[in-house]
């Protein structure tokens, strides 16, 4: 037992004095003390020579020694790691770093940015407004009084705390807010998310993104409207695309129209996307109704204006030939990864 104690003390001294400077040194330490034929095993083997009445005490001693060797080994291994990082000679600063995956821009954002850029070149600036609106800005000011049947065109989500509040169904509400400020002439586009209580399908969703536009000044005519939208279409879809206007109805514009472009998928020949007509509708537009101007405190005898509104999803689907609207909000990276853009 005394011999065992002496051995252990001796080894402890040895171990405490050890300095290592390489991985090889560390490995020899491990083999010498912790290996299958190493010192620890050896010392443990001495247990059998200890008299029975001292075995308990010896067991404790040996256990402590075991922990001592193991913790010293770990400490040496840790110090090796830190010194090798500190050791500049081992550090190759020319190695490329860990790559960061940055993802890609959402197709809706790409097209949103493209639309904004095109209109900015024509002098339009971006205006934004709240997604939770009141009845006035979303409906009444837009010539849609309560109980007007045209309110059914846009199935609305109301907010239960206050019957006057709703999720905006279009960004025309932003146009009202801007007109109310009274800074004329006014040339704005209003991009943003809008909400409608529609059954979700490949062609409709309960929320989507719009860009609406508004130009109010003296002597603005339908010709200005057409020219602006022609420019937009050519910039967006290319010069080969054909455009047509169809008379339509919106309570806030008079006259009103819908604009179609020749189908990009079949080039006008007729396919499932254009429902065999060769045309696809991309936006609604018209001359701002004089009552809307009056509602916002603008002199409708002096000023005229045009407005238009389009869904960004629709434009994106045509541009990238995406067949299902739901893909835009499902966050499936296999879909989203396919769109890259410098914008």
Q: Which residues bind ligand PHE (CB under 6 A)?
A: 170, 172, 212, 250, 253, 284-286, 307-309
Q: What is the 3-state secondary structure (H, E, C) of the chain?
A: CHHHHHHHHHHHHHHHHCCCCCHHHHHHHHHHHHCCCCHHHHHHHHHHHCCHHHHHHHHHHHHHHHHHHHHHHHHHHHHHHHHHHHCHHHCCCCCCCCCCCCCCCCHHHHHHHHHHHHHHHCCCEECCCCCEEEHHHHCHHHCCCCCCHHHHHCCCCECCCCCCEEECCCCHHHHHHHHHHCCCCEEEEEEEEEECCCCCCCCCCCEEEEEEEEEEECCCCHHHHHHHHHHHHHHHHCCCCCEEEEEEEECCEEEEEEEEEECCCCCCCCCCCCCCCCEEEEEEEEEECHHHHHHCCCCCCCCEEEEEEEEHHHHHHHHHCCCCHHHHHCCCHHHHCCCCCCC
Find the shortest distance in angstroms from Cβ 250 to ligand PHE: 4
Looking at the Cβ atoms of 107 and 309, the one nearer to ligand PHE is 309
Sign, CA torsion 277/278/280/281:
negative
Looking at the Cβ atoms of 62 and 259, the one nearer to ligand PHE is 259
Looking at the Cβ atoms of 58 and 187, the one nearer to ligand PHE is 187
Q: Which residue is nearest to ligand PHE (CB)?
A: 309
Looking at the Cβ atoms of 170 and 187, the one nearer to ligand PHE is 170
Looking at the Cβ atoms of 108 and 307, the one nearer to ligand PHE is 307
β pairing state of 207-217 and 186-195: antiparallel
Looking at the Cβ atoms of 4 and 190, the one nearer to ligand PHE is 190
Assess contact for 220 and 306: CB atoms under 8 A: yes
Looking at the Cβ atoms of 191 and 309, the one nearer to ligand PHE is 309
Find the shortest distance in angstroms from Cβ 93 to ligand PHE: 57
Find the shortest distance in angstroms from Cβ 284 to ligand PHE: 3
Find the shortest distance in angstroms from Cβ 157 to ligand PHE: 15
Find the shortest distance in angstroms from Cβ 269 to ligand PHE: 29
Find the shortest distance in angstroms from Cβ 248 to ligand PHE: 8
Looking at the Cβ atoms of 192 and 309, the one nearer to ligand PHE is 309
Find the shortest distance in angstroms from Cβ 278 to ligand PHE: 23
Find the shortest distance in angstroms from Cβ 214 to ligand PHE: 8
């Amino acid at each position: 037992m005394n011999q065992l104690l002496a051995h252990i003390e001796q080894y402890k001294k040895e171990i405490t004095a050890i300095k290592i400077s390489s991985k090889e040194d560390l490995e020899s330490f491990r083999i010498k003390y912790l290996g299958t034929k190493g010192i620890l095993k050896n010392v443990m083997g001495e247990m059998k020579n200890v008299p029975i009445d001292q075995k308990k005490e010896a067991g404790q001693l040996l256990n402590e020694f075991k922990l001592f060797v193991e913790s010293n080994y770990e400490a040496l291994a840790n110090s090796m790691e830190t010194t090798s990082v500190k050791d500049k000679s081992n550090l190759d600063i020319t190695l490329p770093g860990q790559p960061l995956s940055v993802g890609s821009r959402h197709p809706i954002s790409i097209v949103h940015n493209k639309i904004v850029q095109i209109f900015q070149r024509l002098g339009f600036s971006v205006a934004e407004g709240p997604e939770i609106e009141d009845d006035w800005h979303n409906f009444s000011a837009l010539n849609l009084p309560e109980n007007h049947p045209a309110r059914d065109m846009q199935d609305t989500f109301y907010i239960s705390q206050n019957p006057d509040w709703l999720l905006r169904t279009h960004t025309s509400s932003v146009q009202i807010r801007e007109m109310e400020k009274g800074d004329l002439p006014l040339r704005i586009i209003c991009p943003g998310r809008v909400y409608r209580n529609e059954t979700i399908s490949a062609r409709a969703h309960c929320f989507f993104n719009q860009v609406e536009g508004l130009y109010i000044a003296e002597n603005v005519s339908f010709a200005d409207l057409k020219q602006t939208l022609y420019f937009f279409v050519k910039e967006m879809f290319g010069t080969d695309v054909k455009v047509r206007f169809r008379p339509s109805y919106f309570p806030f514009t008079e006259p009103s129209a819908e604009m179609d472009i020749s189908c990009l998928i079949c080039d006008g020949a007729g396919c499932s996307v254009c429902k065999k007509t060769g045309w696809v509708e991309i936006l609604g537009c018209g001359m701002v109704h004089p009552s809307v101007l009056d509602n916002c405190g603008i002199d409708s005898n002096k000023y005229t204006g045009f407005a238009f509104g389009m869904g960004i999803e629709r434009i994106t689907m045509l541009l990238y030939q995406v067949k299902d609207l739901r893909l835009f909000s499902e966050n499936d990276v296999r879909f989203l990864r396919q769109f890259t853009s410098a914008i």
